[in-house]
Structures are given as C-alpha cells and as structure tokens.
Amino acid sequence: MSTDTTETKVAPKRGMSILFSLTLLGLLLFLWLLLGFATNSFWSPNNISNLLRQGSMTAILAVGQTFVIITAGIDLSVGAVVGFASVILAWLLAAGLPVWLAIILTLLMGVAIGSFHAFGIVRMGLPAFIITLATLTSLRGIGLLITNGSTISISNEAFTNFARADFLGVPSLFWMVIVVAVPSYVFLHLSRWGRYL
C-alpha cells in the first residue's frame, strides 16, 4: 500500500518537471524566432558565436549553483569569487607565468575557497549565509589590495587567442560548458550520491 502511494506521489512531480522544462524550451524557441525575424543579424554566424561565448560563463556558474540549490543551500560569494579569480589570473599572467600554469593555479584557488566553505558549513556547522557573506567581503577587499583599485591589463597573446579560439566552428568557451555540464548531469542522474541529493 505504501509503495503505491509513493509511486503516485512521484509520478505527478516528474510530470510537472517535464512540463516545466518543455515550457522553458518553448519560450526560448519563441524568443529565438521572434528576435530572428525582428532583426537581420540575429541568426548570423558572428552573432550566434557571440551569444555562445557570452553565455558560457553564466552557464558554467549555473551548473555549480545547481548543486547549491538542490541541497537547499545559498552562496552569496559567487560574484566575488569570479571577480577575484579574474584578478588572480590577470596578476599571474602579468607576472610572466605560462597561460596553462596561471589557469591551473587560479582553478586550485577556486577549489580552496570551495573547500573552505565546505569545512565551515559541514564540519563547523556555520550557516552558509554567514560564511559565504564573509568570503564575499574578504575577497572584494583582497582584490582591491592586489589591484590598488586599478585595472590589470592582460597583454598575453596566447591567453587572448585561447579565449577567442574556436573548435569545429564553436567557441572554445562553449566546449568548456559541455565539459562541466555533462559530468554534472551524469553525477546527478546516474550516480547513487547524485540521486540521494
């Protein structure tokens, strides 16, 4: 009896989830067609490439925030972490480090910040709101100290080419979204830990 009740509860939720996803896709398609007919350049290859390139960073952040939302958490430091990572990357490149090493060190810094949050929330029992707010404030201040409130120019041609590169006609940044999104989807839907979340 309890099994039937559980299956009955799960089925409507799954149906609503599918309906919600289809509704979003329908709205996206409608906007795509509307803008395409309203302007002459919306469907041009250059514009499509720009849209993919500009949306890639947001998409990568959205994948990460998916895990936060699923676990009923909150992270106020996302923007500050992105800004601080940009400062560190620019500072390392200006110091003459190779592009690959500067990127790896910046990613490791991001991992360290995430580990700090995890330790504070899970081990110390601090509210996610408090610890991420503290990180937001701290990183903004440290970033200002590093830059002295001025812009750090990146004159590294290799990094510029990497950021603007295309692979199979698609911006490299979009391929990074695929590299992040596919393993995340597999983890959430096909792993025991992901289904537990």
Same domain, residue pair 145 and 81: yes
**Domain annotation covers residue 173:** no
**Number of neighbouring beta carbons within 10 Å of residue 173:** 20
**Domain annotation covers residue 184:** no
Same domain, residue pair 32 and 92: no
Reported as a single tens digit per residue, the pLDDT across 14-28 is 666 777 778 888 998
Q: Note the pLDDT of residue 197.
A: 67
Q: Note the pLDDT of residue 16.
A: 66
> 167 forms bridges with which residues in the sheet?
170
Concatenated DSSP letters of 153-166? ----HHHHHHHH-E
Same domain, residue pair 90 and 138: yes
**Domain annotation covers residue 78:** yes
Reported as a single tens digit per residue, the pLDDT across 136-151 is 999 999 999 988 888 8
Same domain, residue pair 38 and 78: no
Structure-token pair, residue 85:
């990572």
Q: Note the pLDDT of residue 13.
A: 61
Same domain, residue pair 152 and 78: yes
Q: Tell me which residue range forms the domain holding 37.
A: 1-43
Entry pTM: 0.75
Q: Note the pLDDT of residue 15.
A: 63
Same domain, residue pair 29 and 101: no
**Domain annotation covers residue 127:** yes
Distances (CA, A) of 148 to 57, 83, 136, 143: 26, 14, 18, 8
Q: Note the pLDDT of residue 134.
A: 94
DSSP 8-class letter at 40: S
**Domain annotation covers residue 51:** no
Q: Note the pLDDT of residue 160.
A: 81
**Number of neighbouring beta carbons within 10 Å of residue 106:** 20
Same domain, residue pair 34 and 101: no
Per-residue pLDDT 10s for the chain (197 aa) are 444 544 455 556 666 677 777 888 899 889 888 888 888 888 888 888 888 888 888 899 999 898 888 888 888 999 999 999 999 999 999 888 898 899 999 999 999 999 999 999 999 999 999 999 999 999 999 999 988 888 877 777 888 887 788 888 888 888 999 999 999 988 888 888 877 76
Same domain, residue pair 33 and 83: no
**Domain annotation covers residue 4:** yes
Q: Note the pLDDT of residue 189.
A: 82
**Domain annotation covers residue 180:** no
CA angle 113/119/122 to nearest 5° reads 130
H or E element at residue 171:
strand 170-171
Number of domains within the chain: 2
The whole-angstrom separation of Cα 45 and Cα 2 is 55
**Domain annotation covers residue 36:** yes
